[in-house]
Amino acid sequence: MAEAKILVVDDDPAIRNLIYRFLSKQDYTMEAAEDGKKALAAFEQFTPDLVILDVNLPDTNGYDLCKEMQSRTGVFVLMLTSRTDEADKIRGFAEGADDYLTKPFSLLELEVRVGAILKRQRPVTAAEQQCLSFDSLVIDPVRREVMLDHDLVPLTALEFDLLHFLASHPGRVWRRAELIQKVWDYDYVGDQRVVDVHVGQIRKKIEKDINEPALIQTVRGVGYKFEPPHGVTEGQASA
C-alpha cells in the first residue's frame, strides 16, 4: 500500500512546519497550506487521505473547510485547535471531523491519532466482506457504502465504521467506552459524548423518525445497540 498522503493546514508556521517535518519522517507524503484558499487548492491537486486542520484560519474557519472537503471526497479530518471547550470539540465532530487534538500536543500523541485514523483504510478481511442487509438498509464494507431504500447514504468514514460495527453485532448493547475502544481504535481521553454526537448524525441519515429511532436504540444508563427491523435478520435482504 502506498504511503498515506497528509495535508497540514495551519496559519502558524512553527506548528505547520513541525507537523510537516515530523510526519515526513514517519514515511507519510506531506503537503502544507497556511489558509483556507491555499488549502482547497492543495486539496484538489494533492487529494490527501487525511487533512490535519486548524480551526482558526485567517480567511475561514476549520469547521466550514472540513464540511467543504468532506463533501468532495469524504477525506479523513483531524481537527487541531487551541480551544479547550468541550462544546467546540462536539461541534467539530458534528461537522464530520474524525478526531480532535488540542494544542499544545505531543508529537507522540499526534502520531498515534494519525495512525488510528488511517487504519480505517485497511483492507477488510474475508469475514468482514459480507454485506449486512436489514430490510431496506444495506451496509457494504468493501465499498464502504450504505444504501437505504436504494439511495446512497452520505456517511463520514467514522460514521460508517460506527454503524458497521453496531450492525455487525445486532441486539448487543455497547457502552460508550467500549465503542470508543472498538471503533476509534485507541484509548480516547475526553468527553464520551462524542459517541452521542456521531450516533445522532447517523440517525439523521438512516432513521425514519429521529425522535423515536428504531435501528440504533439508546439503552439508558448503558449505551447503544443496533436493533434490526422486526422479523429481519442479518444478511436477509428485502425482496
The predicted-structure confidence for 199-221, as pLDDT tens digits, reads as follows 999 999 999 998 999 999 999 98
Together in a domain, 38 and 71: yes
All three cell numbers of 112:
498515534
* Structural domain count of the chain: 2
CATH assignment at residue 102: 3.40.50.2300
Rg of the Cα atoms in the chain: 18
Together in a domain, 137 and 227: yes
Q: Of the candidates 93, 121, 149, which is a domain's last residue?
A: 121
Domain, as residue range, for 100:
5-121
Query: What is the Cα–Cα distance from 31 to 1, expressed in whole angstroms?
Result: 19
Together in a domain, 35 and 106: yes
Provide DSSP, 190-237. Answer: S-THHHHHHHHHHHHHH-S-TTS-SSEEEETTTEEEE-PPTT--TTEE
CB 198 within 8 Å of CB 162? yes
Together in a domain, 116 and 137: no
Q: Of the candidates 121, 153, 177, which is a domain's last residue?
A: 121
Together in a domain, 167 and 186: yes
Percent of the chain with pLDDT over 90: 46
Together in a domain, 174 and 89: no
- Burial class from Cβ neighbours inside 10 Å (0-12, 13-18, 19+) for residue 84 reads exposed
DSSP structural state of residue 142: T
Together in a domain, 139 and 73: no
Together in a domain, 41 and 90: yes
Together in a domain, 63 and 132: no
CB 237 within 8 Å of CB 133? yes
Q: Which amino acid is at 211?
A: N
CATH assignment at residue 179: 1.10.10.10
Residue 65 vs residues 35, 56, 77: alpha-carbon distances, Å? 10, 11, 10
Together in a domain, 219 and 130: yes
User: At residue 35, what are phi and psi to the nearest 5 degrees?
Assistant: -150, 175
Task: Give the position of cell 486539496.
Answer: 43
State the pLDDT at residue 70: 83
Q: Of the candidates 75, 102, 121, which is a domain's last residue?
A: 121
Together in a domain, 134 and 45: no
pTM: predicted TM-score of the whole model, two decimal places: 0.63
Residues 103-152: pLDDT tens digits?
888 999 899 889 888 887 654 455 557 889 998 899 998 888 899 998 99
CB 215 within 8 Å of CB 137? yes
Residue 177's pLDDT band (cuts 50, 70, 90): confident
The more confident residue out of 37 and 231 is 37
- Average pLDDT over the chain reads 85
